């Protein structure tokens, strides 16, 4: 992938194209984000820097697949969890609802898989209050 703009264009095609061949090409090009653990940091880069909700959705869904399919280290799962709580507290109110839903699903999955491994996973509600209070303000 040469640039974030190209990635965003591919994500747009992946989620919106009416042409099945174009969608399949985008899916094949972008599948590395969900298939290779080395791309976890790139997913976080996309979340931090992308401007389109489709790129954010790709990053979130790729992280969800990574967390679900791979036996990630405890420290990596904690890092992802802490990143998500901070990200949603800071950016949550401005995100599209489908992106927010995907990120919440990811946070729940990370929490579920870490619940018995470390007590810090059990503090998810307390630590999510920043995000939850922002959502309540918007309602």
pLDDT digits (tens, 9 = 90+) for 91-117: 888 999 999 999 999 999 999 998 888
Burial class (CB in 10 A: 0-12, 13-18, 19+), 42: middle
Please state, for a pLDDT cut of 90, what percent of the chain lies above it: 73
Q: Which domain holds residue 31?
A: 4-138
- The neighbour count for residue 26, using CB atoms within 10 Å, is 21
Q: Tens digits of per-residue pLDDT, 62-84?
A: 999 999 999 999 999 999 999 99
| Total domains in the fold of the chain | 1
- The neighbour count for residue 108, using CB atoms within 10 Å, is 13
pLDDT for position 138: 54
Under a CB-based contact definition with an 8 Å cutoff, are residues 81 and 123 in contact? no
Best CA proximity match to 22, nearest among 33, 32, 9:
9
């Amino acid at each position: 992938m040469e640039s974030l703009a190209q990635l965003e264009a591919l994500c747009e095609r992946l989620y919106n194209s009416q042409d099945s061949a174009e969608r399949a090409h985008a899916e094949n090009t972008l599948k590395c984000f969900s298939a290779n653990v080395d791309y976890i940091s790139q997913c976080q880069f996309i979340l931090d820097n992308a401007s389109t909700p489709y790129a954010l959705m790709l990053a979130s869904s790729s992280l969800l697949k990574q967390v679900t399919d791979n036996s990630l280290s405890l420290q990596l799962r904690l890092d992802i969890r802490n990143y998500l709580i901070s990200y949603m507290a800071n950016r949550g109110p401005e995100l599209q609802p489908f992106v927010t839903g995907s990120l919440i699903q990811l946070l729940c999955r990370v929490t579920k898989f870490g619940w018995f491994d470390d007590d810090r996973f059990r503090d998810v509600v307390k630590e999510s209050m920043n995000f939850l209070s922002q959502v309540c303000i918007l309602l």
